[in-house]
Amino acid sequence: MIGTFKKWVSGSTTEQVLSEQEMYEQIQKHPVPEHIGIIMDGNGRWAKKRGLPRTAGHAAGMKRVRETIRIANDLGIKALTLYSFSTENFKRPKEEVEYLMKLPIEFLRTDLQELVDRNVKVQMLGDKEKTPSYTQSALREFEVQTEHNTGMILNFAISYGSRDEILQAIREIIEEVEKGNIDKDQITEQVMSDHLLTRGIPDPDLIIRSSGEIRISNFLLWQLAYSELWFTEELWPDFSKKVFYQAILDFQKRNRRYGAV
């Protein structure tokens, strides 16, 4: 769960709340995660608490996406993967699915130029065949317009499921073996990683999930083998800059041993 944004005053039992600027300064003293993955959960519950339709929660969540991208970019994060729509989300009501699938079109209209100016490179992770053509077109436009950018990689995981991703990678490797391009004894973890949708991107150092749920929900299962996990009760539309900063500060305090002593 998230920590409180507090510090102890030397020689005193008084606690003081850390400001955003103080949190930012603390973060700058240590390396930041190269790759952060976020399971953005809680839009529907946020709306329900306010007596609003679920779509209002998704609209509020989109504003938080915009701010989170800016924060990550300003901190020098190299890759940010946002779990936007899972393969399981297709089970939701048709109207909600259609609304979610049209959000990239709106995001393209409002945010493309800023992402270009910020040198952010946008990519889609997911099953394009399951994704509506209009959503694919918007995401493809993002990819084309930012393909030469050299800054932070922004992955939108849409129509994404990690088990499907792993199965597809296995099929591709089997095909390579059958063609004689690789021997089965040459299949390594790196070969597997090279056939995943995140190929060429470091595995996530930190996985964040909002809304109080403590599970991974079929997100980057292969890639998160040694990721640090961080959960918060905050619903995604309430995922503020301070909460994001706290996740990174907590990450920086952890001792990552990768199985060693």
Catalytically annotated residue among 43, 89, 203, 205: 89
| Cα angle 130-55-121, degrees, rounded to a multiple of 5 | 55
Annotated catalytic residue, options 41, 111, 203, 205: 41
Is position 41 annotated as part of the catalytic site? yes
Written as one string, the DSSP assignment of 66-123 is HHHHHHHHHHT-SEEEEEEEEGGGGGS-HHHHHHHHHHHHHHHHHHHHHHHHTTPEEE
d(CA 69, CA 57): 18
Sequence-distant (≥ 6) Cβ neighbours of residue 42 within 8 angstroms? 57, 61, 210, 211, 212, 234, 235, 236, 237, 238
* DSSP letter assigned to residue 19: P
Annotated catalytic, 89? yes
Question: What does the DSSP 8-state code read for residue 203?
Answer: P
At residue 10, the 3 state secondary structure works out as coil
Q: Note whether 162 and 83 are within 8 A (CB).
A: no
Q: Tell me, what amino acid is at 217?
A: S
> Rounded to an integer, what distance in angstroms lies between the CA atom of residue 69 and that of residue 75?
10
Any idea which residues carry the catalytic annotation? 41, 89
